[in-house]
Structure 1
Amino acid sequence: MVEAYPWQDSAWKRLTSRNNYAHAYLLHGPIGIGKRALSERFMASLLCHGQINLPACGECKSCLLLKADSHPDIYLLEPEDADKAIKVDQVRNLVSFVAQTAQMGWRKVVLIEPVEAMNINAANALLKSLEEPSGNTVFLLVSHQFSRLLPTIRSRCIQQACQLPSKAMSLQWLAKVLPECSEDQRVELLTLVSGSPLAAVKMHAQGVCEQRILVVDGVKKLLKRELFATQLAESTWKDIPLLLLFDWFYDWSSLIIRYQLTHDKNYLGLSDMRKVVQYLSQKSAHGKVLNIQDWILAQRQKVLDKANLNRVLLLEALLVQWVSLPGRR
Structure 2
Amino acid sequence: MAEAYPWQDSLWQHLAGRGQHAHAYLLHGPKGIGKRALAERLMALLLCQHPAGLAACGQCKSCHLLAAGSHPDNYILEPEEADKAIKVDQVRDLVSFVVQTAQLGGRKVVLIEPVEAMNINAANALLKSLEEPSGNTVLLLVSHQPSRLLPTIKSRCVQQACPLPSHATSLAWLATALPDSSDEQREELLTLAADSPLVAVSLQAQGVVEQRALVVEGVKKLLKQQTSPTQLAEAWNAIPLLLLFDWFCDWSNLILRYQLTQDEEGLGLQDMRKVVQYLAQKSGQGKVLAVQDWILAQRQKVLSKANLNRVLLLEALLVSWAGLPGQS
TM normalised by structure 2 equals: 0.97
- Between 275-284 and 133-142, the greater mean CA deviation after superposition: 133-142
1:322 aligns with 2:321: yes
Unaligned runs of 5+ in 2: none
The secondary structure found in structure 1 opposite 2:275 is helix
Structure 1 53/152 Cα, relative in aligned 2: closer, same or farther at 3 Å?
A: farther
- TM-superposition CA deviations, 1:22-64 (whole Å, max 9, x none): 1111111111111100000010011011027711111111111
Structure 1 runs of 4+ aligned residues shifted over 6 Å read none
> Where do 1:303-322 residues align within 5 Å?
303-322=302-321
1:59 aligns with 2:59: yes
Percent identity among equivalent residues?
75
Partner of 2:283: 284
Partner of 1:210: 210
> Where do 1:140-289 residues align within 5 Å?
140-233=140-233, 235-289=234-288
How much does 1:67 deviate? 1.2
Aligned 8 A contact 1:85 1:118 in 2 = yes
Aligned 8 A contact 1:84 1:306 in 2 = no
Partner of 2:37: 37
Aligned 8 A contact 1:268 1:278 in 2 = yes
The secondary structure found in structure 2 opposite 1:56 is coil
Amino acid at match of 1:76: I
Root-mean-square deviation over aligned CA pairs:
1.3
- TM-superposition CA deviations, 1:231-275 (whole Å, max 9, x none): 222x21111111111111111111111110111111111111001
In structure 1, C-alpha distance between the alignment counterparts of 2:293 and 2:132, rounded to whole Å = 41
Aligned 8 A contact 2:215 2:236 in 1 = yes
Aligned residue pairs total: 328
TM normalised by structure 1 equals: 0.96
The secondary structure found in structure 2 opposite 1:308 is coil
- TM-superposition CA deviations, 1:199-219 (whole Å, max 9, x none): 111110110111111111111
- Between 160-169 and 12-21, the greater mean CA deviation after superposition: 12-21
Structure 1 100/53 Cα, relative in aligned 2: closer, same or farther at 3 Å?
A: farther
- TM-superposition CA deviations, 1:113-142 (whole Å, max 9, x none): 111111111111111111111121111111
In structure 2, C-alpha distance between the alignment counterparts of 1:274 and 1:210, rounded to whole Å = 18
The secondary structure found in structure 2 opposite 1:306 is coil
- Between 68-77 and 35-44, the greater mean CA deviation after superposition: 68-77
Amino acid at match of 2:268: G
Amino acid at match of 2:217: D
